[in-house]
Amino acid sequence: MSPRKSPYFELKSGSVDTLLFVIKTTELDAMRAELTRRFEATPEFFANDTVAIDVRRLAEGEQVALGDIVRLLEGVRMRPVGVVAHAAQQEWAAGAGLPFLEARDRRAASAKSAEEASEPGVPVAAAESAPMPAAAQPELFSAETNGVAVELDSAAAPESDARGARPETLVVDRPLRSGQRIYAKGDVVVLGLVSNGAEVIAEGNIHIYAPLRGRALAGVHGNHDARIFCTCLEAELISIAGIYRTTEVPLTADVKGKPVQIRLDEEKLLIEPLRLT
């Protein structure tokens, strides 16, 4: 039997979404103190999530002890799976023993440069060195969830209209199980249960016509006008534009398990009952 048709396993190319832990400083003690402080309130939020350590924001010549970073992340129950680094950083970054991963934003930039270089009248050198236009750069979801700045690659998000039109509303007509994550570049409507451990993330509004028991994060690119609507609020976490509330602060009886809307008033989350009848 051909190995390619083995009934026991397959080896195939693919891509896996993961969190990026973006390091911006070499001050390990300050990083440890901040991460610990901000995770104390909700230690389960990123429990068992895989994460890639991204060192590309470090200044030229700066280095960090990646082994210590690995232990730091494991201390908050995250699972480091690799390192994202520039070519000049790979020699010292290899000391952590983690594989090097290629971020989608870098692949997109390379593809764009190659495309421009193939166009008539565009010198190859100019195409390789020209900065990528902002409109062509991939979107990154950057949220300060539980106070820890992380970046999620939004490859699962629908592509935006090239003309800059408002993204269409994403409709999810199935329940979301624990570990599943939905990302919408506009509004999102969920017609099924959002289980504990599931996430609904949107740059616009979130509508959930079922119990919300997992996490809902609206306006993730800083849209303070975004709102969350649900018919049964039992959420682990709710967030609008990075301002969040978790189960550490109990819900009041007039909104717990009830239809509600959630909005921002200045820098404060307001949870208001919805009168549906």
Q: Where are the domains of the chain?
A: 15-155, 158-273
CATH architecture of the domain with residue range 15-155:
2-Layer Sandwich (3.30)
Q: Mean pLDDT over residues 14-35, rounded?
A: 83
Q: How would residue 120 be classed by pLDDT, with cut points 50, 70 and 90?
A: very low
Give per-residue burial for 60-77: e unless 16+ CB within 10 Å, then b: eeeebebeebbebbeebe
Tens digit of pLDDT for each residue in 195-239? 998 999 999 999 999 999 999 999 988 899 999 999 999 999 999
The predicted pLDDT at position 8 comes to 83
Classify strands 237-240 and 243-246 as parallel, antiparallel or unpaired.
antiparallel
CA distances to 29, 45, 146, 182 from 245, in Å: 27, 12, 9, 19
> In which band, very low, low, confident or very high, does the pLDDT at 121 lie, cut at 50, 70 and 90?
very low
Q: Specify the long-range contacts of residues 202-207, CB closer than 8 Å, at least 24 apart.
A: 202/170, 202/226, 203/167, 204/167, 205/229, 206/230
Q: Same topology for domains 15-155 and 158-273, yes or no? A: no
The CATH classification number of 158-273 equals 2.160.20.70
